[in-house]
Chain A
Amino acid sequence: MRNPLADVPVPLLDDLIDDDYVRSLVVGVVGTLGTLGLLGLLFPDSVAGDLAGIVFSAGTAESTARLAAPIVLAGLGGIFAEKSGVINIGLEGLLIISAFASVYIASVIGIGNAVLGVPAIWIGFLAGIVASTLLAGVFAVVCIEFKADQIIAGLAVWLIALGLAPFMSTVFFGGVNTPNLGASVGWRYSATMVVIATAASWWTLNRTAFGKHLRASGENPKALDTVGVSVSRVRYAGVLLSGVLSGVGGSALALSIGQFVGSGETMVQGKGFIAIVAYLFGNYNPLGTLGAGVLFAGLDATQIRLQQLGYAVPDTLVQTIPYVVVIVVLALVGRTRIPAAAGDHYETEE
């Protein structure tokens, strides 16, 4: 099954992505948006016009940026972990814990106060990253030191965070939802962080020695070990990076609203799982992950705006689209090649 989109030459893109599949994904998304924009310009009064209006409106862009941040950032984190050979399906838990910790610390310090000249909200942001990294550290120890099954341990990370965040919220604030801080981190910051993190991840994975080690650790850890690079150190680094990046994502999610919502599936609502899908979709390429993440977030944002305009779209069904798309893609096209040694424990001889 040859993908025609893979043959479209795009100058800059070809250098950055040497992967037909991801390239066609990017080309496809850009193409669809372009067509929609054109239709909207030509027929401003049609549904296409409305849709184009929504898709290209500032409001949609804002909420897309807000919704995409946790997906893309956790997805980038997932790439680092999985490339190193540790499948981290606990990204959801990392997002939850950082979302709560960021709001909690910011409220403890108090909006308006500052520590060492750093405003409370940014201290909260850092606290979210720290919390997520700590939890990822626990996950790393359990998987690397104690050889736990990565999938089960990842589930545990999710479930622990799913219990712990509302528990702590109730302890501190008397309810699973925290009060609103009354301050938030603007969407431009989120967007900037997403772009920087994507670029930095791409560089790290493709241009640095660490990136090569990461890849070797996930593909053939023994090859790395026998040239004298510690596989567990590389894997620790990979998992901790997934904690850091997810932490940025979780903090950005909660602080963009200024509140942690802990009822049900919490405010993270499966974004950690969508993140996994985003990086699989992006075939472990940060740019592909960015594209997939923005696509999913954009779909959600568009749907919200459509509701507001009075189109009777059952929101729940629209939310289902990414999940169904993932299943279809996995079944038909998406033969993403997972790192050969992902999921396996590695033991140095003796």
Chain B
Amino acid sequence: MNPAVHLDGITKRFPGVVANDDVDLAIERGSVHALLGENGAGKTTLMNVLYGLYRPTEGTVVVEGEPRSFASPRDAIDAGIGMIHQHFMLVDPMTVWENVVLGNEPRTWGGLRVDEKAAREAVIELSERYGFDVDPDARIEDVSVGVQQRVEILKALYRGAEVLIMDEPTAVLTPQEVEELYGVFEELTEQGKTIIFISHKLGEALSAADEITVLRDGVNVGTVASEDVTREDLAEMMVGREVLMEPATTPQEPGDRVLGVTDLRVEDDRGVEAVSGVSFELRAGEVLGIAGVDGNGQSQLVEAITGMREPESGSVEYLGEPMAGATRREHIDRGMAFIPEDRHEKGLVMSYDLVQNGILGSQHEPPFAAGGRIDWNASTDHAESVIEAYDVRPPNPDADAESFSGGNQQKFIVGREFERDPDLVVATHPTRGVDIGSTEFLHDRLLELRAEGKAILLVSSKLDEVQGLSDRLAVIHEGAFTGVVDPATVTEEEIGLLMAGETLDDESVSGAAIHDAVDDGLDGDGAGDGDGAGDGDGAGDGDADDESGPNREPAADGGVEA
């Protein structure tokens, strides 16, 4: 029997890049197949070839034993191939049924009218057959991400898809929604559908797929049955060498309190509460990791701390001073470094060269601003020193930011922010889209800063990253911390539960840490008030913090040497 899909010697070249190099891949009907690889390994390109978005430079797509040449997705759809993109292709203000039938609307009145009744019935029928719980009349913008994904699947099924391609289907889901998705996979394969999903997560491929194909640099490294391999095998296939799964951190006593966040509430752009009462504190020489599924309020929390968003209530105290009402510029001026999650949008001005990008945030500060003008000499020197220290390639400060690769852009941003000599570094997804080599480099730099006694708030959706780098790990779900745990002892399953919004019963792991944080926060405030009234020492540096007095600082310094 023919495989459902056979990609026969697919090569896809873009100007200057070979995205897929002679990839051969056969996928059995009724199976779940994972396409595993790092960012840029060519997974998405390969699937876009299968879906007719790209034409292969060489090779053939064979569907059900028939060689096909797709000029457009329409052809692929007609051949029974459906694709669910990572960014959902849904029209937000339209309803579920309108989205499902878009482009294939049943019509009446000689084509002058969409047959609404038939369309809704078809959608209801489909969603019942596969056990989806979807309201056909809900607007896309009103339903959860999980439901949106099901609408995408319905869209493909409505068009008669036999093969479903899913690009990073779990990226935006909670662990529970992921479980539900695996259930959907089962339901679909039982009815003879074939599923190919793209992923860079090892665990996901192992638990959901029957077979796994690993791509590296556009080449098929191998296809294996999921029961025959271990995580380490897959990791080695992906990366090409044995990888250390965890960067090593040295234990270090934290110093003075740098950041105190108390009962912070923040709304997102739509006015929906995204952060619901978060409290924590962060000390010098400490890394606090925040783990969670993307979109659980991390962005808004970080924006509120860094002065990019006004919180609704609660307070942020930085170096002993409240930051309420302070502008973004004041945050920068007081020594807060911020590595934003979206470097193309915020971190860099893409059409500026690195000289101009190097002063972003310091454009009003000496030595760059002098006598009402910008000192381009000083700015150029600064850009060059960042380029040199952070190994940005090519080392050309006059090249526009957009001409650099993602990893080099990120290195430049990190370099610029670290060179401010900050007291607090807020780093969101600092290694997202960055190659392995640069990732290790950036991790090392973060740990160096920790050793220098900087406070670091690290937000990442990569569990191994936050777990490996943090001293304490907070897990966020729907805008609230579900737990603050010791990353050295917590298990991945426990983090998974916390990410799903459950709390851990095990007091020894989480309870202490949470209480610790909250107590410190309250203590700090209480002490500050008391001191202010009492000895007029000022809250600023009068933080005669009970436990972490100045005597701890030599210890921190010692850490650098060690």
C-alpha spacing A209/B85, complex, angstroms: 23
A181 interface residue (CB < 8 Å to B): no
Min CB distance, B137 to chain A, in Å? 12
Indicate if the CB atoms of B54 and A208 lie closer than 8 Å: no
Min CB distance, A226 to chain B, in Å? 5
* A203 surroundings in chain B (CB, below 8 A): 112
Min CB distance, A192 to chain B, in Å? 21
Indicate if the CB atoms of B102 and A227 lie closer than 8 Å: yes
C-alpha spacing A225/B76, complex, angstroms: 13
Checking A207, A209, A220 against B89 with a beta-carbon cut-off of 8 angstroms, the contacting residue is A220
B93 interface residue (CB < 8 Å to A): yes
B92 interface residue (CB < 8 Å to A): yes
Min CB distance, B304 to chain A, in Å? 24
Asked if A212 meets B94 with Cβ closer than 8 Å, knowing A227-B77, A228-B72, A228-B103, the reply is yes
* B85 surroundings in chain A (CB, below 8 A): 226
* A229 surroundings in chain B (CB, below 8 A): 102-103
Min CB distance, A164 to chain B, in Å? 36
B114 interface residue (CB < 8 Å to A): yes
Indicate if the CB atoms of A220 and B53 lie closer than 8 Å: no
Indicate if the CB atoms of A209 and B114 lie closer than 8 Å: yes
Checking B77, B99, B105 against A223 with a beta-carbon cut-off of 8 angstroms, the contacting residue is B99
Min CB distance, B438 to chain A, in Å? 27
Number of interface residues of A (CB under 8 A): 22
Indicate if the CB atoms of A219 and B93 lie closer than 8 Å: yes
* B98 surroundings in chain A (CB, below 8 A): 212
* A215 surroundings in chain B (CB, below 8 A): 91, 93-94
Asked if A349 meets B54 with Cβ closer than 8 Å, knowing A207-B114, A224-B103, A227-B155, the reply is yes
Indicate if the CB atoms of A212 and B89 lie closer than 8 Å: no
B104 interface residue (CB < 8 Å to A): yes
C-alpha spacing A224/B111, complex, angstroms: 19
Min CB distance, B105 to chain A, in Å? 4
Indicate if the CB atoms of B48 and A222 lie closer than 8 Å: no
Indicate if the CB atoms of A213 and B48 lie closer than 8 Å: no
Min CB distance, A174 to chain B, in Å? 48
Asked if A212 meets B54 with Cβ closer than 8 Å, knowing A219-B94, A227-B155, A228-B74, the reply is no
B73 interface residue (CB < 8 Å to A): yes
A350 interface residue (CB < 8 Å to B): yes
* A228 surroundings in chain B (CB, below 8 A): 72-74, 77, 103
Asked if A227 meets B104 with Cβ closer than 8 Å, knowing A215-B91, A349-B53, A350-B53, the reply is yes
Min CB distance, A299 to chain B, in Å? 32
C-alpha spacing A222/B94, complex, angstroms: 14
B241 interface residue (CB < 8 Å to A): no
Indicate if the CB atoms of B92 and A219 lie closer than 8 Å: yes
C-alpha spacing A229/B107, complex, angstroms: 16
Min CB distance, B133 to chain A, in Å? 23
Number of interface residues of B (CB under 8 A): 29
Checking B55, B94, B99, B113 against A208 with a beta-carbon cut-off of 8 angstroms, the contacting residue is B113
* A226 surroundings in chain B (CB, below 8 A): 53, 73, 83, 85, 89
Indicate if the CB atoms of B73 and A350 lie closer than 8 Å: no
Indicate if the CB atoms of A212 and B90 lie closer than 8 Å: no
* A222 surroundings in chain B (CB, below 8 A): 89
Asked if A216 meets B114 with Cβ closer than 8 Å, knowing A226-B83, A349-B54, the reply is no
C-alpha spacing A337/B114, complex, angstroms: 25
Q: Closest chain B residue to A211 by CB distance?
A: B114
C-alpha spacing A161/B114, complex, angstroms: 38
Q: Closest chain A residue to B75 by CB distance?
A: A228
C-alpha spacing A350/B57, complex, angstroms: 12
Min CB distance, A337 to chain B, in Å? 8
Q: Closest chain A residue to B92 by CB distance?
A: A219
The A328-342 residues at the B interface (CB cut-off 8 A) are 337, 340
* A212 surroundings in chain B (CB, below 8 A): 94, 98, 102, 105, 114
Interface of chain A, main secondary structure:
helix
Indicate if the CB atoms of A219 and B48 lie closer than 8 Å: no
* B102 surroundings in chain A (CB, below 8 A): 212-213, 216, 223-224, 227, 229
C-alpha spacing A350/B13, complex, angstroms: 12
C-alpha spacing A203/B104, complex, angstroms: 19
Q: Closest chain A residue to B84 by CB distance?
A: A226
Min CB distance, A238 to chain B, in Å? 15
Q: Closest chain A residue to B159 by CB distance?
A: A227
C-alpha spacing A208/B90, complex, angstroms: 19
C-alpha spacing A98/B70, complex, angstroms: 43
Min CB distance, A284 to chain B, in Å? 11
* A208 surroundings in chain B (CB, below 8 A): 111-114
C-alpha spacing A223/B94, complex, angstroms: 12
Indicate if the CB atoms of B94 and A227 lie closer than 8 Å: no
Asked if A223 meets B73 with Cβ closer than 8 Å, knowing A208-B112, A208-B113, the reply is no
Checking B48, B103, B159 against A349 with a beta-carbon cut-off of 8 angstroms, the contacting residue is B48
Asked if A207 meets B113 with Cβ closer than 8 Å, knowing A212-B105, A227-B102, A229-B103, the reply is yes
The A299-340 residues at the B interface (CB cut-off 8 A) are 337, 340
C-alpha spacing A226/B76, complex, angstroms: 10
C-alpha spacing A216/B113, complex, angstroms: 17
C-alpha spacing A102/B113, complex, angstroms: 33
Indicate if the CB atoms of B105 and A220 lie closer than 8 Å: no
* B48 surroundings in chain A (CB, below 8 A): 349
* B155 surroundings in chain A (CB, below 8 A): 227
Checking A209, A224, A225, A340 against B105 with a beta-carbon cut-off of 8 angstroms, the contacting residue is A209
* A340 surroundings in chain B (CB, below 8 A): 92
Indicate if the CB atoms of B89 and A350 lie closer than 8 Å: no
The A67-109 residues at the B interface (CB cut-off 8 A) are none
The A24-78 residues at the B interface (CB cut-off 8 A) are none
C-alpha spacing A222/B99, complex, angstroms: 12
Q: Name the residue in B54, B55, B89, B107 with the highest tally of chain A Cβ atoms < 10 Å from its Cβ.
A: B89
Q: Name the residue in B55, B98, B102 with the highest tally of chain A Cβ atoms < 10 Å from its Cβ.
A: B102
Indicate if the CB atoms of A216 and B91 lie closer than 8 Å: yes
Indicate if the CB atoms of B93 and A213 lie closer than 8 Å: no
* A224 surroundings in chain B (CB, below 8 A): 91, 102-103
Indicate if the CB atoms of B91 and A220 lie closer than 8 Å: yes
C-alpha spacing A213/B94, complex, angstroms: 11
C-alpha spacing A209/B107, complex, angstroms: 8
C-alpha spacing A337/B90, complex, angstroms: 18
Q: Name the residue in A215, A216, A223, A224 with the highest tally of chain B Cβ atoms < 10 Å from its Cβ.
A: A223
Q: Closest chain B residue to A350 by CB distance?
A: B54
C-alpha spacing A215/B95, complex, angstroms: 12
* A209 surroundings in chain B (CB, below 8 A): 105, 107, 111, 114
Residues of A that sit less than 8 Å from B by CB: 203, 207-209, 212-213, 215-216, 219-220, 222-229, 337, 340, 349-350
Provide 13 A-B residue pairs closer than 8 Å at the C-beta atoms, listed in order of the A residue.
A208-B111, A209-B111, A213-B102, A213-B103, A215-B93, A216-B91, A216-B102, A220-B92, A227-B102, A227-B155, A228-B77, A349-B48, A350-B54
New contact pairs (15) apart from A216-B94, A226-B53, A226-B73, CB-CB < 8 Å:
A208-B113, A209-B107, A209-B111, A209-B114, A212-B94, A212-B98, A213-B103, A219-B94, A223-B91, A223-B99, A226-B85, A226-B89, A349-B53, A349-B54, A350-B53
Residues of B that sit less than 8 Å from A by CB: 48, 53-55, 72-74, 77, 83, 85, 89-94, 98-99, 102-105, 107, 111-114, 155, 159
